Amino acid sequence: MKVLVTGGTSGLGLAMASALAASGASVALTGRSGERAESAAAGLPGAIGIEMDVRDESSVTRAADEAWSRLGGVDMLVNNAGIGMRTVNPRFMTQPQGFWEVAPEGFRAVIETNLTGYFLVAREITPRMLASGGGRIVNISMNHSTMRRAGFVPYGPSRAGGEALSLIMAADLRGTGVTVNLLLPGGATVTGMLPQDVTPEGHRFLSPEVMGPPIVWLASDDAADVHDERIVATEFGQWLRDRESRQ
């Protein structure tokens, strides 16, 4: 399995890239800094790091070309690159801002990364997958409560848009051999997106490694026909048992 993980230098992306590499997949992970991407990849067996700014079409095309060439194709795209509320309000958990207090440039930056970025990378990779006979796309999302929470503009709307995008992608690609699924942690995780004034101690934050088992399974032969599912990592074991009982 040849996998491209966007935003793979830290947090959920690095945890998923690590789990996939450990399972034997060939992994290309991306970051805005090519040097940081290469450094992160150096710590994983057989992985490569590639510079990609998901907001920029030319950067996405160059990175996709490089990943396709160096991996010999891409079987799975994990759309993960994103920025959080911390970029527009460093104390968003303890001092939330009303939407009218959010700077337009901050709003645009989050939407362009978390939503437009998913679109641009999937738009670049999907035709290649179709031409090669199939593939898998996994779009990373968050809890629905995050999309409705006071003080969560623009992060909430960016993730809600990502879910809608994923559902439409799945509808557009049904029956083509390219599958689309959503994967989310199931709660707040210990990543660089935590606000500056909140520490993990005393909170029930999840470890990013919670994403490992479901992403490895989604890359497996057992998941070849799984399409248009929304999988919550903290509930993955039960979801899988329920699925197996229906078969």
- Positions annotated as catalytic residues are 155
Task: Spell 17-36 as b/e; 16+ CB within 10 A means b.
Answer: bbbbbebebbbbbbbbeeeb
> How far, in Å, CA of 247 to CA of 56, rounded?
43
Q: In the structure encoding, which two tokens stand for residue 137, read together? A: 């796309």
Give every CB contact of residue 123 below 8 A, 6+ residues apart in sequence: none
Q: In the structure encoding, which two tokens stand for residue 84, read together? A: 């959080």
Residue type for position 182:
L
**Sole residue written with tokens 């994103």:** 82
Q: State the CB neighbour count (10 A cutoff) for residue 225.
A: 7
Q: In the structure encoding, which two tokens stand for residue 26, read together? A: 């060939």
Mapping DSSP onto H, E and C, the string for 29-80 reads EEECCHHHHHHHHHCCCCCEEEECCCCCHHHHHHHHHHHHHHHCCCCEEEEC
**Residue 179: DSSP 8-state:** E
Q: In Å, what is the CA distance from 195 to each residue of 86, 95, 126, 200, 240?
A: 6, 10, 35, 10, 33
